[in-house]
Amino acid sequence: MSTITTTTRQYIDEDTFHADVQYIEALWQRKAIGATDVPLIDIGNGVPLVFVPILEHLEFVYARQVRAFSQSRRVITYRRHETRSHPVGLTERAEELRQVLDYLGLEVVDFVAHGDAAMVLFEFAVRYPQRCRSLVIIAQGADYEIAPHPFIWLLHELFVRLPVEQFVPAWFLRRTVVNYIMASRDMATKTVRSLPRHLVEEQFCKIQLWPFVYKFSVLPVIHYFDMRQRLDALTMPILLINRYDDALSPEPETHWLSKQLPNCTGYHLVQGGERFFLYSRAEVVTPLIEQFLV
């Protein structure tokens, strides 16, 4: 395990952030994959590298890596279809990823996935290990455990069992989720370069009918995710990267995962000011990925 502690006292500025968001938005090409119209990014040449998508409008998290790796590799990602009326869980998301690979004629690739997307990648890798050259897992352990968790788990149970999506205000749910994304219990990380909260909220505000998306497209993935009894199937090389004090991916959980995986070739901890440190600390994280993929 290595620790990266380089710090600065600078927020990502709005112009830089908006330029990165626009960079991703300008790359989308709509493709008919099966019965679905899928916004797809497929740029660069060389060995393919697939970024497994997060929630729609959060693809900016990969913007700096897409820009960097597309200089020497074929880089692929897509915007997943968020459902607002019926649940779509890990199995469906893994099959969605498989369909994209089949459409592109890709048999074996390297993958990068952050947070919720890493849950999908874990499921895919267990189902189709022969298609995974390697995995880069960022900010995700083997199960979904929030610390502190009682309130959010109560909220989850209400969403799962009752039609609360019709009553919970979007602003309230958005604020709750962003609170966890921005949470940092280590005062040292307050000085680390990070995204300001209002820019994260700006992206979440683009998600229409957010309580419905949360119930039908987010919870079916995160609420039931648990890979702890299936790790033996993950024999491909895996790189784990986390930050020290992530509320949604506690460091003890990723440390445990690093010891249980059959072929974890690296485990790195980064000082990150918020959950999206893959973006805000790209100058630290991207070289770690580059070294792993060599």
Dump pLDDT digits (tens) for 269-279. 998 778 999 99
- 283 token code pair: 């100058």
Contact indicator for 206, 24 with CB cutoff of 8 Å: no
List pLDDT tens digits, range 31-77: 999 888 999 999 999 999 999 999 999 999 999 999 999 999 999 99
| Percent share of the chain, pLDDT over 70 | 92
Closest listed residue to residue 274, CA positions, set 245, 233, 231 = 245
pLDDT over 90 at 266, yes or no = yes
Contact indicator for 221, 89 with CB cutoff of 8 Å: yes
Return d(Cα 244, Cα 258) in angstroms, integer: 14
List pLDDT tens digits, range 177-202: 898 888 765 545 555 778 999 999 99
Return d(Cα 219, Cα 162) in angstroms, integer: 13
How do strand 29-33 and strand 36-43 relate by DSSP bridges? antiparallel
User: Would you state the pLDDT for residue 9?
Assistant: 44
Ranges of each domain in the chain: 2-293
Through-space distance between the first and last CA atoms of the chain, rounded to whole angstroms: 19
CATH number of 2-293, picked from 3.40.50.1820, 3.20.20.150, 3.40.50.720, 3.90.180.10: 3.40.50.1820
Q: Where are the alpha helices (DSSP H) in the chain?
A: 14-27, 63-69, 90-104, 116-127, 150-161, 170-182, 197-204, 210-213, 219-222, 251-260, 277-280, 282-293
Q: What is the average pLDDT value for the chain, to the nearest integer?
A: 91
Please give the model's pTM, rounded to 2 decimal places: 0.92
Contact indicator for 30, 39 with CB cutoff of 8 Å: yes
The single residue listed with the structure tokens 């459409």 is 103
Contact indicator for 97, 52 with CB cutoff of 8 Å: yes
List pLDDT tens digits, range 82-134: 999 999 999 999 999 999 999 999 999 999 999 999 999 999 999 999 999 99
User: Would you state the pLDDT for residue 182?
Assistant: 85
